[in-house]
């Protein structure tokens, strides 16, 4: 049983108790002055019994109606929704919807820009790969790779002749 359901039940019981509270014997005597004291006492006892019975019947009927209409389940659902909304920043009174929309828009634009740049890089790489494939298909080797290889060989050969096996320069 949720807190809202308990609160409803307590409120109902308090209301019924105050509405169906038996009146004192003195109040009863004042309300029915034409009867004898013995009759007033019997009527007061009967009134008290009727009120007690009525109180029980009203509470039972209330409980029955709550069960039939599933008030408890509905109140628990409402309580859960209220709790969820209080945790959701979009339902907060402090959140400005326009700020949220602006932030979302800015984030989306930044993401689109990033993805566009990544796509352009990928397209450029694909273009370079296609060009190399075309060169290889035509039988022309890539001259830049060959010149780099030749340069490495030259530097390796020249450094080999300048240094002896002990690592010192030999003229």
Residue-by-residue pLDDT tens, the chain, 171 positions: 677 778 888 888 888 887 777 788 888 788 889 999 899 889 888 888 888 888 888 888 888 888 888 888 888 888 888 888 776 665 555 567 777 778 888 888 888 898 889 888 888 898 888 888 888 888 755 566 667 777 777 776 666 555 444 444 444
How high is the pLDDT of residue 159?
A: 60
Show the 3-state SS of 115-159.
HHHHHHHHHHHHHHHHHHHHHHHHCCCCHHHHHHHHHHHHHHHHH
Counting Cβ atoms within 10 Å, is residue 25 exposed (0-12), middle (13-18) or buried (19+)?
A: middle
Give me the half-sphere count of Cα atoms (radius 13 Å) on the Cβ side of residue 145: 6
Give residue limits of the domains in the chain: 3-91, 97-143
CB 76 within 8 Å of CB 2? yes
């Amino acid at each position: 049983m949720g807190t809202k359901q308990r609160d409803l039940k307590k409120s109902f019981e308090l209301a019924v108790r105050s509405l169906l509270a038996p009146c004192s014997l003195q109040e009863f005597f004042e309300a029915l002055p034409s009867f004898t004291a013995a009759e007033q006492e019997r009527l007061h006892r009967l009134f008290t019994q009727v009120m007690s019975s009525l109180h029980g019947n009203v509470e039972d009927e209330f409980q029955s109606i709550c069960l039939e209409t599933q008030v408890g389940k509905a109140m628990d659902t409402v309580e859960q929704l209220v709790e969820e909304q209080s945790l959701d920043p979009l339902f907060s009174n402090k959140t400005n919807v326009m700020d949220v929309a602006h932030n979302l828009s800015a984030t989306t634009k930044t993401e689109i820009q990033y993805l566009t740049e990544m796509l352009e890089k990928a397209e450029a790489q694909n273009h370079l790969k296609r060009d190399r494939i075309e060169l290889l298909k035509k039988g022309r080797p890539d001259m830049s790779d060959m010149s780099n290889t030749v340069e490495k060989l030259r530097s390796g050969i020249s450094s080999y002749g300048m240094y002896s096996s002990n690592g010192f320069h030999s003229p």
